[in-house]
Amino acid sequence: MATIFTRIIRGELPGRFLWRDERCVVFLSINPLQPGHSLVVPVDEVDHWVDLDPELVQHLTGVAQHVARAQQAAFSPEKVGLMIAGLEVPHVHLHVVPIRGVHDLDFANADTDPDPADLDRAAATLRDALRAAGHAEVAGD
């Protein structure tokens, strides 16, 4: 059975996409830790990041860097955190989160009922920042 992320990638479930290429996608978290919290997800279903091909790990982290730079431009956080937890969904995903401190990476602080308009604004802002940086892989609108 397909993971929830595969269903989002296929368009069976909605997602606020920021990036799409042949190897991965990026979309906003529906339970953001901070505005702009994004997930970098490989197209192929792999449960644990240690099982990824090293070249795919390199690609995913490179995309995460592009997203982080867009988050820096869009939201001016103190830092951008990168986390691979993998407990919620059995499909590798990298959390890229604009942060002020380590407490911003605590899932106990996730917004479980974000305003859809806020998510739409964050997605549009990040797409604009990615486009401004010259990335043709920007997805959604």
pLDDT at position 123 is 98
For the residues 49-59, what does the mean pLDDT come to?
97
pLDDT at position 140 is 76
d(CA 34, CA 10): 26
pLDDT at position 86 is 86
**Boundaries of every domain in the chain:** 4-106
The pair of three-digit structure tokens given for residue 92, joined into one six-digit string: 């590798």
- Residue 37 a catalytic site member: no
Buried b (16+ CB within 10 A) or exposed e, 26-50: bbbbbebbbbbbbbbbbbeebeebe
List the catalytic residue out of 66, 93, 95, 135: 93
The three-class DSSP label of residue 19 is strand
CB 99 within 8 A of CB 113: no
- CB atoms under 10 Å from CB of 3, counted, come to 16
Question: Would you identify the CATH topology of the domain 4-106?
Answer: HIT family, subunit A (3.30.428)
Mean pLDDT of the chain: 96
Contacts of 82 (CB under 8 A, 6+ apart): 61, 64, 68, 94, 95, 96, 97
pLDDT at position 1 is 82
pLDDT in tens, 95-141: 999 999 999 999 999 999 999 999 999 999 999 999 999 999 999 77
